[in-house]
Structure 1
Amino acid sequence: MFLSTLLQKSKTILGISQTPEIAREVNENTDETTTISSECAKDTLTDSERYAELRETIYEHIRTIRDPEKPATLEDLHVVYEEGVMIKSPTDDKVCVIRIEFNPTIPHCSLATLIGLCIRVKLQRSLIEKYKLDIYIKKGTHSTEDEINKQINDKERIAAAMENPELHKLVEECILDDE
């Protein structure tokens, strides 16, 4: 239910409509059927309001990711924070650019790449089409930030990492929503 609600909110903010049939599929575990009208969203919200709502929705998705080592969320550890979610104006192709900046707990955090991977996977599953996702370690907060930034923004490396069964299982455990 929680993921369904966030998915619906993401679609509303981005102004994407869905047919009643799709809405029924998304909400099959609930009694509600929702149809989102992109025209209504565009007419009632300014761009800055849509960006603010999208930013809030994205933060809601990533704040609950659990740390791979500690029994706490990334929000609890101040690894992710609202100001670290930035929405840039859409490109000429109408692609929304989302930039996530996170702050590892220590400058030599060995799990920073895994945390970036968890953020990417969670958002790829939660958000809908037409977005470009850039994830970066906050400048000056990690000893190997350039290498890690390159890894967590490389599609081929991400795909290869997710093919590893142990790593895949760990990511799944970190991004699992408690409902």
Structure 2
Amino acid sequence: MVSGLINENPTVYERKERRVRTDSTNSDEFSVEPIDQLEIFDHIRDIRDPEHPYSLEQLKVLTEDSVEVDDLKSYVRVTFTPTVEHCSMATIIGLSVRVKLMRSLPPRYKIDIRVAPGSHATEAALNKQLNDKERVAAALENPNLVEMVDECLSPSFE
């Protein structure tokens, strides 16, 4: 564990049971189900917190309600809530969510990652940083940041 944690004893919540998505495709014709809130949440719910051995869902950094999807406009917004107002890992959390969605969604989707209003001391700066293509690209060229993101995205074996 990292020493000097910002939030040494976070509140940990129960995971929600995964819901089974029904596939309504007809075998006689090709149809593509629209991407919805539940599907996006299923992609990001198991991202691990950079400082704790818990998922972002368990810490309520992400909830199903924090995901907005407009499949027709190819738009996804995820709003996350850091556990403390001065979370030093908020950038890594947002970058991890962005990378997971970039790897999971078709490239036609515009991904918007936001910090919940009033949940972080530098909310405006974080929102700008997490949605600036050049800054994201530069961050993903930094081996240390990529290693941290990959660690957050690696599967847990609980």
Is 2:147 the partner of 1:169?
yes
CA distance in structure 2 between the partners assigned to 1:97 and 1:149 by the alignment: 16
The structure where helix makes up a greater share of residues is 1
Deviation, 1:127, is: 1.1
Q: 1:126 aligns with which of 88, 104, 123?
A: 104
Deviation, 1:178, is: 4.1
Q: Which residue of 1 aligns with 2:31?
A: 40
CA distance in structure 2 between the partners assigned to 1:143 and 1:102 by the alignment: 14
Q: Which residue of 1 aligns with 2:56?
A: 74
Q: 2:42 aligns with which of 56, 60, 66?
A: 60
Structure 2: unaligned runs, 5 residues or longer: 1-20
Deviation, 1:110, is: 0.8
With the length of structure 1 as denominator, give the TM-score of the two structures: 0.68
In structure 2, relative to structure 1, the CA distance for the partners of 1:121 and 1:89 (3 Å cut) is closer
Q: CA RMSD in A?
A: 2.3
Deviation, 1:41, is: 3.8
CA distance in structure 1 between the partners assigned to 2:44 and 2:32 by the alignment: 24
Task: Give the fraction of aligned pairs with identical amino acids, expressed as a percent.
Answer: 46
The aligned amino acid for 2:130 is I
CA distance in structure 1 between the partners assigned to 2:95 and 2:68 by the alignment: 18
Secondary structure in 2 matching 1:68:
coil
The aligned amino acid for 1:81 is T
* 1:2-151 equivalent positions in 2, closer than 5 A: 39-41=30-32, 50=34, 54-88=36-70, 90-91=72-73, 96-151=74-129
CA distance in structure 1 between the partners assigned to 2:49 and 2:107 by the alignment: 27
CA distance in structure 2 between the partners assigned to 1:117 and 1:41 by the alignment: 28
With the length of structure 2 as denominator, give the TM-score of the two structures: 0.77
Regions of 4+ moved over 2 Å: 39-42, 88-91
CA distance in structure 2 between the partners assigned to 1:174 and 1:138 by the alignment: 20
CA distance in structure 2 between the partners assigned to 1:120 and 1:131 by the alignment: 11
